[in-house]
Structure 1
Amino acid sequence: MLAIRLPEEIEDRLSQLAKATGRTKTFYAREAILQHLEELEDTYLAEARAIKIRSGKTKTVSLENVMAEYGLEN
């Protein structure tokens, strides 16, 4: 279960959309979350990886080495 408070303007827009389409506000809130969740996960994963690289806890691999390892060289 999840309860969120939205600014009045967003709540109004959500209500208008739900009324105009015959769907629930919950439907549209769920859709918005699902559409953006993967992007958020990717962003936070990339930020965490960058912090590890900068601190020296993780090393990088050059594109040249990756291509060679997987036989993708020209």
Structure 2
Amino acid sequence: MDTRQTAVRLPTETYDRLKALAEQTGRTTAYYIREAIEDRLEDMEDIYLAERTLERVRSGEEDVIDAEEFWRDMED
């Protein structure tokens, strides 16, 4: 697996909790940071992409069809 390194700044309380979890479980803080990102990344992508699409719909930049037309087209 190809990896890249990055840095994040965390509030002291969050870092302390993360460090305690790592110490109590024998895992690294990097492990839990990676797990948290991987767990939430898909949800965040879906949310932000949906918000951008909604903005395009509201501004008239995105075509919209009603459900009846959608299902009618699916039958063809």
Tell me, which stretches of 5 or more residues in structure 1 are unaligned? none
SS of the equivalent of 2:22 reads: helix
Structure-to-structure mapping, 1:1-74, within 5 angstroms: 1-71=5-75
CA distance in 1, matches of 2:50, 2:19: 35
Amino acid at match of 2:40: H
Root mean square deviation, CA, Å: 0.9
- Aligned length, in residue pairs: 71
Q: TM-score, normalised by structure 1?
A: 0.88
Tell me, which stretches of 5 or more residues in structure 2 are unaligned? none
Q: TM-score, normalised by structure 2?
A: 0.86
The percentage of counterpart residues that share the same residue type is: 44
